[in-house]
């Protein structure tokens, strides 16, 4: 399986609009790897996108992605969904505003309920413009796309409002859990993972988010072969500095992890 990290940034991509901090200035001046778009992943073998924040158009263009067939959503938050229009309407012919290609959108039932309230225009794309074919999914379900199986993982089972996806091909297993993993309490069920792509958590203590320290404890338990950390907040780099991130790699040298960047390609 081949994966590309399209966006490794946090809820506020880097550079943050208007911001004149050193992190944002550097990202504006040098671009990648300092520029980080909203969190999203591309599964190259099956033209499948996971999440689409507001800047998804830039993310797919930067990687020259020519087609998206499937789109999976982890949770409703704008940095993961508000780029839906860009992905769906891109397949719309101007004349008559009709779709010439449908993207299969996979959204967990609970997530769809909240998404519809916060992003009601999704109904227009699915039912009128028909640029998206909606598939409501739930925890435990498996979706087969070519030779890859995508397993739906609710952080708290069927009642979850946030989801991870497990990609399986032959013996290989890759878990993608990019955001809000504080409520993900079923880690212990996941062993023998070849790769985990996971939010990096906060270096500061904030009870509403997973801390980096807690994440390291979880990873020690499930022992994945490799870990890529993503959803890296500009505010965190700004406060702690890039050197601090590097020092974490030394501190937790028993865990095979790296910090991801936009455009990072991984073959498993």
CA distance 106 to 137: 6
- Where on the chain is the footprint of Zn ion (CB under 5 A)? 16, 19, 21, 24, 79, 179
**What are the tokens at 149?**
């199986």
Q: How many CB atoms lie within 10 A of CB 225?
A: 13
Least distance (Å) between residue 27 CB and Zn ion: 8
Question: Strand pairing partners for 148?
Answer: 145
Least distance (Å) between residue 48 CB and Zn ion: 19
**What are the tokens at 182?**
């504080």
CA distance 126 to 157: 27
CA distance 121 to 126: 9
Least distance (Å) between residue 110 CB and Zn ion: 17
Least distance (Å) between residue 73 CB and Zn ion: 12
Least distance (Å) between residue 163 CB and Zn ion: 12
SS3 content of the chain, % helix, strand, coil (to 5): 30, 30, 40
Q: Answer for the pair 84, 52: CB distance below 8 angstroms, yes or no.
A: yes
Q: Answer for the pair 54, 82: CB distance below 8 angstroms, yes or no.
A: yes
């Amino acid at each position: 399986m081949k994966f590309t990290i399209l966006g490794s940034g946090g809820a506020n991509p880097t550079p943050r609009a208007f911001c004149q901090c050193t992190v944002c200035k550097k990202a504006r001046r040098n671009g990648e790897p300092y520029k980080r778009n909203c969190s999203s992943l591309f599964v190259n073998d099956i033209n499948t996108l996971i999440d689409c924040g507001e800047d998804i158009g830039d993310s797919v263009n930067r990687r020259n992605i020519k087609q998206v067939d499937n789109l999976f959503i982890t949770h409703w938050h704008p940095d993961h969904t508000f780029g839906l229009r860009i992905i769906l309407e891109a397949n719309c012919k101007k004349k008559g505003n009709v779709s010439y290609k449908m993207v299969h959108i996979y959204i967990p039932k609970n997530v769809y309920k909240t998404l519809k309230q916060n992003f009601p225009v999704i109904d227009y794309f699915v039912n009128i413009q028909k640029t998206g074919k909606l598939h409501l999914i739930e925890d435990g379900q498996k979706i087969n796309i070519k030779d890859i199986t995508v397993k739906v993982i609710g952080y708290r089972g069927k009642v979850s409002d946030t989801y991870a996806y497990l990609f399986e091909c032959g013996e290989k297993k890759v878990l993608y859990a990019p955001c809000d993993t504080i409520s993900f309490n079923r880690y212990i069920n996941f062993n023998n993972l070849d790769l985990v792509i996971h939010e990096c958590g906060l270096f500061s203590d904030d009870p509403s988010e997973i801390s980096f320290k807690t994440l390291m404890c979880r990873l020690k338990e499930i022992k994945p072969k490799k870990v890529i950390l993503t959803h890296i907040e500009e505010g965190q780099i700004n406060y702690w500095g890039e050197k601090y991130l590097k020092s974490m790699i030394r501190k937790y040298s028993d865990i095979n992890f790296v910090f991801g960047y936009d455009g990072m390609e991984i073959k498993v």
